[in-house]
Amino acid sequence: MEWNKPHMVELPRIYDPRGSLSFAQDNAQIPFEIKRVFWIYDVPGGESRGSHSHKKAHQLIVATGGSFDVTLHDGTKSATFTLNRPFVGLYIPPGHWLTLENFASGSVCMVLDSTLFSEDDYIRDFDEFLEWNRVHDRIPTLP
């Protein structure tokens, strides 16, 4: 698997008549140690989340309930991924601008992160993101 590019990751599923279970473990389904987990919910209709990039953090985003779109930009191109299954996540390496939008009512977005929270890891201005990618010779990774 190419861990330098964003892509969908199918997580293990354990079926049981009482309900199914999925999971992600460090360096098994994802190429990083999980240092932080957070989730986004109760997003009002028409609102978006994200609109930033990370310098160091690797993330796996999963729609544990409902559905939403993740639009990524690599400094050259953009691509939109729809998340709507609790056993499929979107892996995002550092250096990608991300926006979460089109949340269905009741959606829950869970994020597994390789770093503890640090404001220094965030780029919150799109022009600064483009400049950061240029200075760091980032190679476009989106189709």
Contact 72, 97 (CB under 8 A): yes
CATH 2.60.120.10 fits 33-135, yes or no: yes
Q: DSSP letter at 131?
A: H
> Is 16's pLDDT higher than 80?
yes
Per-residue pLDDT for 1 more than 70?
Answer: no
Residue 121 DSSP label: G
pLDDT at 38 over 70: yes
Q: Percent of the chain beyond pLDDT 70? A: 99
Stretch 122-137: mean pLDDT: 94
pLDDT reported for residue 25: 86
Q: Is the pTM above the cut of 0.85?
A: yes
In this structure, the chain runs to a length of: 143
- Residue 26: partners with Cβ closer than 8 Å, 6 or more residues away: 32, 33, 34
Return the active site residues.
52
Predicted pLDDT at 42: 97
Can you give the residue ranges of every domain in the chain? 33-135
Q: State the Cα–Cα distance between residues 10 and 16, nearest whole angstrom.
A: 18
Q: Give residue 46's pLDDT.
A: 94
CA–CA distance, 14 with 104 (Å, rounded to integer): 26
Please indicate whether residue 139 or residue 129 has the higher confidence score (pLDDT): 129
Give percent of the chain with pLDDT exceeding 90.
87
C-alpha separations of 95 from 11, 21, 92, 132, 142 in Å: 24, 31, 9, 8, 12
Q: What is the pLDDT of residue 29?
A: 86
pLDDT band of residue 143 (cuts 50, 70, 90) is confident
- Read off the pLDDT of residues 61-78 as tens digits, 9 standing for 90 and up: 999 999 999 999 999 999
Per-residue pLDDT reduced to its tens digit, 80-112: 999 999 999 999 999 999 999 999 999 999 999
DSSP structure class, residue 17? T
